[in-house]
Amino acid sequence: MRFSTYAVLFLSLFAATFAQAQADRPAEREMLRLLQEKMLAANAHDTDRFLALFVHDETLVFVINGQVIRGFDSLHELQLKWWNQGKSDVVYSEQAPPEFLWLDRKTVLVTEQLASRRTSPDGRPSEGKFAVTGVWRHSREGWRVIYAHESSMR
């Protein structure tokens, strides 16, 4: 029995996709570990620990609700402000497992669906949901966020 050209092509693509998925499992496990570390740092309101996973130069881009922040130093300064120098009471939680889109062996697009709870300036509880999409690249220093976009869900 012969396979048609289409069947051979389909099986070849399936095999290549399966092989890529198998190859990325260790990298995906590493990404999950890093995302957990990022969440722990965020809930500790530890700006330096949180931003350790971001590229530390002027090429970093972070977009939040329409505001474009360029460079590590600018983001560091704003993150300190957002977390009130580590005194914030915000608590973050994951709403769904992160999604990974491997762009190549050293670059992955990660989408996270998160929620937050905090006390508003008027003293009332405040809850929110938001999504973060980050481009992570592997370098000599390890995996680092090179670009991220965060937006609130309504």
Write down the domain spans for the chain: 5-152
Q: What is the pLDDT of residues 86-139, one digit of tens each?
A: 999 999 999 999 999 999 999 999 999 999 999 988 999 999 999 999 999 999
For residue 25, name the pLDDT band (cuts at 50, 70, 90): confident
User: Bridge partners of 96?
Assistant: 113
DSSP 132-154: EEEEEEEETTEEEEEEEEEEE--
| Nearest-5° Cα angle at 101, 41 to 116 | 35
Pairing of strands 142-152, 61-64: parallel
Element (H, E) at 74: helix 72-82
Write the CA distances from 130 to 35, 46, 95, integer angstroms. Answer: 16, 20, 9
For residue 154, name the pLDDT band (cuts at 50, 70, 90): low
Q: Phi, psi (5° rounding) for residue 112?
A: -120, 140
Q: What is the pLDDT of residues 28-49, one digit of tens each?
A: 999 999 999 999 999 999 999 9
Q: What is the DSSP letter of 86?
A: G
Architecture of the domain whose range is 5-152: Roll (3.10)
Amino acid at 143: W
Which pTM value belongs to this model? 0.81
